[in-house]
Amino acid sequence: MQTARLRLRAVVYSDAARIADLAGDWDVASMTGRIPYPYTASAAHHWINGVEDGEKVFGIERDAELIGICGFTAARNGNAELGYWIGKPYWGQGFATEAASAVMAYGFTKAGVRRFVCKHLTGNPASARVIQKLGFKYIGDSTGWCEARQCELPALAYERRRPWTMTIRALAS
């Protein structure tokens, strides 16, 4: 997939060192659910090899350089959980919003997603802004596991349903 500034592509085995370098930063890992700390290239290889069928995972490239990951895990009921992270040198430039918007459009139009859910840890206002810009609606307080911190933390949960116009087009085809 291509956006105005980014290319989203399959994650490959050779991405492991770059993923470990970017996601292994404490400031990144400590705000995610699944990234351990420290994060090694070996752990990144293990993660790449373990991506399952229901997961759609995209490497985010800017100027042919991997800067983050975005994707979703789909359930059979049409729900999908959205996840993303951007390497710290690329924060504050709108890349997470741009990539997640493209991934959600793909999910709604090509992967049969009817509803996206996501959450962010309460101490992550940058992710809250991304979620707001993506049009998610707050659905309640929650908790979320943080692998890097090895504990459950307060979080806020959100949802975004497939736009009505996409639903009508899907029914008509």
Q: In the chain, pLDDT over 70 holds for what percent of residues?
A: 95
CATH class assigned to 7-172:
alpha beta
Average pLDDT, the chain: 94
pLDDT digits (tens, 9 = 90+) for 69-117: 999 999 999 999 999 999 999 999 999 999 999 999 999 999 999 999 9
pLDDT of 168: 46
The answer to whether residue 165 scores a pLDDT higher than 70 is no
- Tell me the backbone φ, ψ of residue 160, rounded to 5 degrees: -145, 120
The neighbouring-strand residues paired with 161 are 115
pLDDT in tens, 18-53: 999 999 999 999 999 999 999 999 999 999 999 998
Phi-psi category of 63—alpha, beta or left, where left has phi over 0 and alpha has psi -120 to 50?
left
- Structure-token pair, residue 65: 């350089």
Task: Report DSSP letters for 27-53, one per residue.
Answer: HHHTTSSS--SS--HHHHHHHHHT--T
Over range 128-147, report the average pLDDT.
Answer: 98
> Contact, 118 vs 82, CB < 8 A?
yes
d(CA 107, CA 115): 9
Per-domain boundaries in the chain: 7-172
172, pLDDT greater than 70: no
Answer for the pair 148, 37: CB distance below 8 angstroms, yes or no.
Answer: yes
